Structure 1
Amino acid sequence: MCTTIVVGEKATADGSFLVARSADSSSLKAQHFVIHPAKTGQSGVYSCKAHGGVNDFTYPLPENAMRYTTVPNWKTQLHGAVGYNEAGLGLTGTESIFASDEALAVDPYNKASGITEDDIPDVILPRCRTAREGVELLGKIIETQGAGEGFGVAFVDMNDVWYLETGSGHQWMAERTPADSYFGSGNQGRLGNYDPADPNQLASPTLVAFATEKGLYRPEDGVFNFSKAYTRDDGRDRVYNDPRVWAIQKHLNPSLEQPVDAGRSFPVYLTPEKKVTLEDMKLLMRHHFEGTEHDPYGNGLNGAEPWRPISVFRTYEAHVMQVRPWLPLPIAEVVYVAFGMADLSCFVPFYHGLEAVPAQYGMGTDHADTVSAYWKYRRLQTLVMTDYPKLAPIVKSAFGAFEAETAEAQKAMEAEFVERFAKDEASAMKLLNDFNLDVLAKAEALAEKLLNDVFTIRTADIEATVVFKNNKSKD
């Protein structure tokens, strides 16, 4: 269960493409950051089952695979969540969405061997070079082998950003996000009207004909609408999904007035009232209706709150992808990753040109430890949640200051990188890698310091509660 935001390049403050997603499942699902090397002369097949994945999906390996990155599940190294490849294609997936019962009755998911979120990054990123090519390949797989579940996937490169949604087991639609607009989704099929003549839209060849034949769409009702024809829209969406999309649109379009539970009528795309920044995307990934009666953390932990927030404790990582086409590729593409619950984590940059990560980014299981990068953040978050109103401001302030300082340091590093890159690529790459590794180390050190600070506070709190001093207040 996730939340996704996609922003076109003319809707952002600096002209970059921005894509954000929170990945929500279990707080015990440690995540790794993996750099997959390029490979040549491959044969055989990729097998989800062979990795311990959810089903028996298979697909031929590319003879020559490009280098790419993923942020996968510790146990299987699948469900890579987000990454870029050496050609500059990035993707994030998946956003879990749900086809209607009527659509699944005539075209069910291929749960036994269809493609799922486990597989998409490891199939697409080694072989596709552009966002459109990634959409087309994933679409062809859905058509021929089926989708094992409902999902949405964002694809971004130096020229375009696209979003694909499944409609049923073998039907799908994708659309290039308009340059001046943004798109937000919270576990819903959200794409709207489809025109096969529109070059900014792609879909399964039988999308409209199949829906018409099976009674999912009646031409006399007007223009074909993808989400209305194929995807679920019922009471579950009103409190679990609609409030998140409402919150995204309210933040970026403050003057927009619409009921929180009117999800199907929310605009698919909006032009933001102010240009969207990287900080906006981080803030939205941290959003939990703070300052309102629907905040499930600030007024005492309330797991029964009906409005499901964007930032939940069981988020195992959230990320923001930024693509800046005017810069050299090694620094043009960055993914900012916040391990664990975004609200209490730190968004740390991983540049496209980062050549290796420390060993602790390949560690971590479903049992807490003191070494892995994931658990350094998660242990802190768990302790803070024991008294969120008192402790969260301390952590949020420290991480906020770190992110601001890092952003200033990034500007200086990137300016120097551009100068060096034109003259000595090796020198520029060393600068980038030294800088990126230093940021990772400082962020981890800050998390460890904050853990000790919070432990100190909680120790004093508990002592004050059960002190049992004698009548002279002596030991």
Structure 2
Amino acid sequence: MQKKLSACTSILIGKQASIDGTIMIGRNEDAKAAWPKHFVVHERGKVGDHFVSKETGLSLNLPTDSFKYTATPEWTDKYGLFEEAGINEYHVAMSATESAYTNERVLGFDPLVKDGLNEEAMVTVVLPFVKTAREGVQRLGDLIAKYGTGETNGVLFADDNEAWYFESAAGHYWVAQRIPDDAYAVVGNQLAIQEINFNDPDNFMFHPQIQAFVTKNQLNPADDGFNFREIFGTHDRSDAIYSTPRVWYGHQMFSPKAAVLETPESQDLPFLMRPERKLSVIDAQNYLASHFQGTPYDPIGTGSEEEKHRYRPISLAKTQESHVLQTNRPNGNNLHWLAMGVANQSTFVPFFADLTTTLAAYKRGKLPAQLNSAYWIFKHASVLVDSHLHDFLPDLRDVQKEMRINATQMVNEADQASQDLPAAKRAAYLTRQSNDFATDVLNAYKQLSLRLITKMTDYCALNFNTDENL
């Protein structure tokens, strides 16, 4: 397996920007079209006190006490864990990573570190050991400053109070910015954070020597200010084709009046935006499942062949899983929404973060495909739909609509039923509700696949209009 680069797309939504006062961080994990993911719960104290990365060889001593957390690891740990996203028992959510690039000039002064801390290990060595989003930012930043990293990455954090976006650049330097409560951000494989206010610790965190590093090596192209994206990031043609169109589309979805002069290839799109209406978890899911609908750039739309393939879409075949981590919910009933496979052709299943175990089907899945695995059940329906897209897409959309309505109903009923339960009974109840609903969704997709196979039987090339009386 070649080195994995998560060519992802991310969204962060502050609590005053959301319709229900919740905080949301979400991301598509994009790497390989057929590379299964699992969904697991790690019990408290199960991480161990020492970690060695199978990817880079980095060896770390860990705190002795690890917290319970959800995670979405790879189907094999041969190349590393890649746990990617989860919520721990203290309601800290983390999603890692949004891959990006550092420019060559900066790398000349601080090269990437081959045996450093990479995406593969970040969730595993950070999420089980922090009690707030800020603690998560600081722990990750301290580890990268000390051990270095071999990648340029963005990492999403949230708790019940706030959301943060963290970015590393070069081998050791990093910054993080708090998402204002009334704002959102969308990011697509490009360093996103802009002007840093070093005198505002409530909203910015950073490597303690980053200013001195930039000044010493004359890296700031501006006469004043400190624009992290301009100093450390890239601004080439590939950004305009690959990265900025996805940010542009998010702005068109949520802030069309403010973004009316933006173009898909704009190189100066703002990191933070205010939505022109309150955003729901469905809005976050719709963004992660989008592919430039309503524009000539939709790969399955009506534009010209050149237009349809001009820009890299948000939801695509190489999505392994998509998630929205929702915090600050009623009664602390935070949610790990998970769509296995291609977000546009899957369903975001709500798992209460306090669940104690996941379905066996979500802990299975390998190569070659096996149809007792949640990942492959969703992928099976997806590839069948792809075979006759415009004929079969309505069947898929009907199932998705029904499951989305049912998900909202289940979550609402569980919120009410669990509010007065003692902790142990509440966890057991939320586990049962999560896994029962996940079972219903898997069954719906199995039935969808059977219906599609039945329809496909008459598409055979060895077909002819026959006389039914003969």
Instruction: State TM-score, norm by structure 1.
Output: 0.92
Matches within 5 A, 1:348-387: 348-387=349-388
SS in 2 for 1:410: helix
Q: Which residue of 2 aligns with 1:48?
A: 53
What's the offset of the Cα at 1:41?
A: 11
What's the offset of the Cα at 1:262?
A: 4.3
Q: Which residue of 2 aligns with 1:173?
A: 175
What's the offset of the Cα at 1:305?
A: 0.5
CA distance in 2, matches of 1:351, 1:150: 31
Matches within 5 A, 1:45-444: 45-49=50-54, 54-76=55-77, 78-111=81-114, 113-199=115-201, 200-218=203-221, 221-255=223-257, 256-298=259-301, 305-325=309-329, 327-329=330-332, 331=333, 333-418=334-419, 420-421=420-421, 424-444=422-442
Question: After superposition, what is the alpha-carbon deviation per residue over 1:178-213, rounded to whole angstroms, capped at 9, x for unaligned?
Answer: 111111100000101112111110111121221122
What's the offset of the Cα at 1:40?
A: 7.4
Check conservation: 1:286, 1:310, Cα contact below 8 A: yes
Check conservation: 2:159, 2:327, Cα contact below 8 A: yes
What's the offset of the Cα at 1:469?
A: 5.4
Question: After superposition, what is the alpha-carbon deviation per residue over 1:322-346, rounded to whole angstroms, capped at 9, x for unaligned?
Answer: 1125x333x1x10110000000001
What's the offset of the Cα at 1:393?
A: 2.2
CA distance in 1, matches of 2:149, 2:209: 16
Question: After superposition, what is the alpha-carbon deviation per residue over 1:207-266, rounded to whole angstroms, capped at 9, x for unaligned?
Answer: 1221122121156x2211001000111100101111100000110012221342444311
CA distance in 2, matches of 1:305, 1:466: 33
Question: After superposition, what is the alpha-carbon deviation per residue over 1:71-108, rounded to whole angstroms, capped at 9, x for unaligned?
Answer: 01111161111101112111001000110111111111
Check conservation: 1:343, 1:396, Cα contact below 8 A: no
Check conservation: 1:147, 1:170, Cα contact below 8 A: yes
Which of residues 27, 32, 49 is equivalent to 2:33?
A: 27
Q: Using a 3 Å threshold, how does the CA distance of structure 1 residues 445 and 301 change in structure 2: closer, same or farther?
A: farther
Check conservation: 2:289, 2:343, Cα contact below 8 A: yes
Letter in 1 for 2:244: D
Check conservation: 2:94, 2:158, Cα contact below 8 A: yes
Question: After superposition, what is the alpha-carbon deviation per residue over 1:396-440, rounded to whole angstroms, capped at 9, x for unaligned?
Answer: 22112211122022212211111x32xx44443333222111101
Question: Which consecutive residues of structure 2, in runs of 5 or more, have no partner in the other structure?
Answer: 1-6
SS in 2 for 1:118: helix
Letter in 1 for 2:358: V
Q: Which residue of 1 aligns with 2:3?
A: none
Letter in 2 for 1:309: P
CA distance in 1, matches of 2:279, 2:238: 30
Q: Using a 3 Å threshold, how does the CA distance of structure 1 residues 400 and 48 change in structure 2: closer, same or farther?
A: same
Question: Cα RMSD between the aligned structures?
Answer: 1.9
CA distance in 1, matches of 2:232, 2:454: 53
CA distance in 1, matches of 2:83, 2:212: 34
Question: Which consecutive residues of structure 1, in runs of 5 or more, have no partner in the other structure?
Answer: none
What's the offset of the Cα at 1:42?
A: 4.7
Structure 1 residue 459 and structure 2 residue 457: aligned?
A: yes
Check conservation: 2:88, 2:128, Cα contact below 8 A: yes
What's the offset of the Cα at 1:373?
A: 0.8
Q: Which residue of 2 aligns with 1:14?
A: 20
Instruction: State TM-score, norm by structure 2.
Output: 0.93
SS in 1 for 2:16: helix
Letter in 1 for 2:20: D
Letter in 2 for 1:412: E
Check conservation: 1:300, 1:388, Cα contact below 8 A: no
CA distance in 2, matches of 1:428, 1:171: 42
SS in 2 for 1:287: coil
CA distance in 1, matches of 2:443, 2:137: 39
SS in 1 for 2:323: strand
Question: After superposition, what is the alpha-carbon deviation per residue over 1:358-382, rounded to whole angstroms, capped at 9, x for unaligned?
Answer: 2221111131111111100011111
Aligned-pair identity in percent equals 30
